Amino acid sequence: MNISVIGCGRWGTFLAWYISQINKKVMLYGREGSDNMDRLKRERNNGIITLPDSVDLTTDIACVDIADVIVISIASQGLESLMQQLAAKELRNKIIVLCMKGLEVGTGRRLSEIVEDNLDSSNSVAVWLGPGHVQEFYNGIPNCMVIDSKNDDVKRILVEELSSKIIRFYYGQDIIGNEIGAATKNVIGIAAGMLDGHNISSLKGALMSRATREISRLIEKMGGNKLSAYGLCHLGDYEATVFSKYSHNREFGERFVKGFPFDKLAEGYYTVSALRILQEKYSVDLPICMAVYRVLYEKADSRAELDKLFERSLKNEF
């Protein structure tokens, strides 16, 4: 099995390293002139991971031509552009694996939908989601993740070929729920960071409980299984997103309410904009997510928005 990884950020670089560790032939693609790729070519290290010589580095997108599996790990808002580029190559019978979490701003499309809208139907799409940070995996700390696809054979192949002592994979059973759950957990990570920024971190337990219920309603309205919100894609990823020092979304939320700049990618910022579209489309109540939206996009006072969540009408928990 030949695998090409598209995207040489911290997660894409980790994926290439991980795939090499399970004895698969892997090539890592990055754009010509990319700072990340330039450093990898010079040092074979990105500050966290050192790549073995068995990982081939390339700036030629033709690497997808010889790949059986194309693993994509880029910023979610760049996926449409990449897929248009790949569509011109008229790919056939490839397995496209999305190792990324988000929704398209302006449309609310799930990432697998973007792939399907651009590529020939002979190609199969899968998602690789769940908890874990690059730093921890690289140091041998294991975790559980999920692989999902509409194609059961593709799921089986990927789980069997990619499992190891570092990552235990589960077979996903709901690609809608898994994609929505994975994308929205980043928004909840931002909310958690806002709690940290206001020194009310003890509310994270309530945040996790109510947010999972909130996202389960959205998943159900979209035609997925509401229980997916309680799985690895969402609730199972909260430790890594809501508490971890490595969580970009949590850190972004904290720095935002404190008025400090943040120069890393926080996917939840874009996802919450797309969620506003989905809330209206599916007529679903998303109070936590919309509070985050108002703070980030409408300059609402963050503490006041958090307080409003406490002032909502009294009701049964379930």
Are 142 and 183 part of one and the same domain?
no
| DSSP letter (8 states) at residue 240 | I
Q: Return the pLDDT at 311.
A: 81
Distance CA 149, CA 152 (A): 7
Tell me how many domains the chain contains: 2
Would residue 241 count as lying in a domain? yes
Q: Return the pLDDT at 171.
A: 97
The CATH number of residue 250's host domain is 1.10.1040.10
pLDDT tens for 57-72 read 999 999 999 999 999 9
Q: Tell me how far the alpha carbon of residue 181 is from its chain's centroid.
A: 9
pLDDT tens for 37-51 read 999 999 999 999 999
Neighbours of 48 (CB within 10 A): 14
In the predicted model, what is the mean pLDDT of residues 157-166? 96
Are 46 and 162 part of one and the same domain?
yes
Q: State the pTM of this model.
A: 0.95
User: 195: which 2 tokens?
Assistant: 């709690």
pLDDT tens for 236-273 read 999 999 999 999 999 999 999 999 999 999 999 999 99
Judged against a pLDDT cut of 80, whether residue 105 lies above it is answered with yes
CA distances for 223 relative to 227, 262, 291, angstroms: 12, 35, 24
In the predicted model, what is the mean pLDDT of residues 189-204? 97
pLDDT tens for 9-26 read 999 999 999 999 999 999
Are 17 and 78 part of one and the same domain?
yes
In the predicted model, what is the mean pLDDT of residues 91-109? 97
Judged against a pLDDT cut of 80, whether residue 312 lies above it is answered with no
| DSSP letter (8 states) at residue 9 | S
Active site residue 258: no
* Kind and range of the H or E run holding 71: strand 69-72
Q: Which of 130, 153, 171 is the last residue of a domain?
A: 171
Which residue is catalytic, options 94, 101, 155, 185? 185
Q: Give the range of the structural domain holding residue 133, as residue numbers without chain letter.
A: 2-171
Are 256 and 270 part of one and the same domain?
yes
Would residue 25 count as lying in a domain? yes
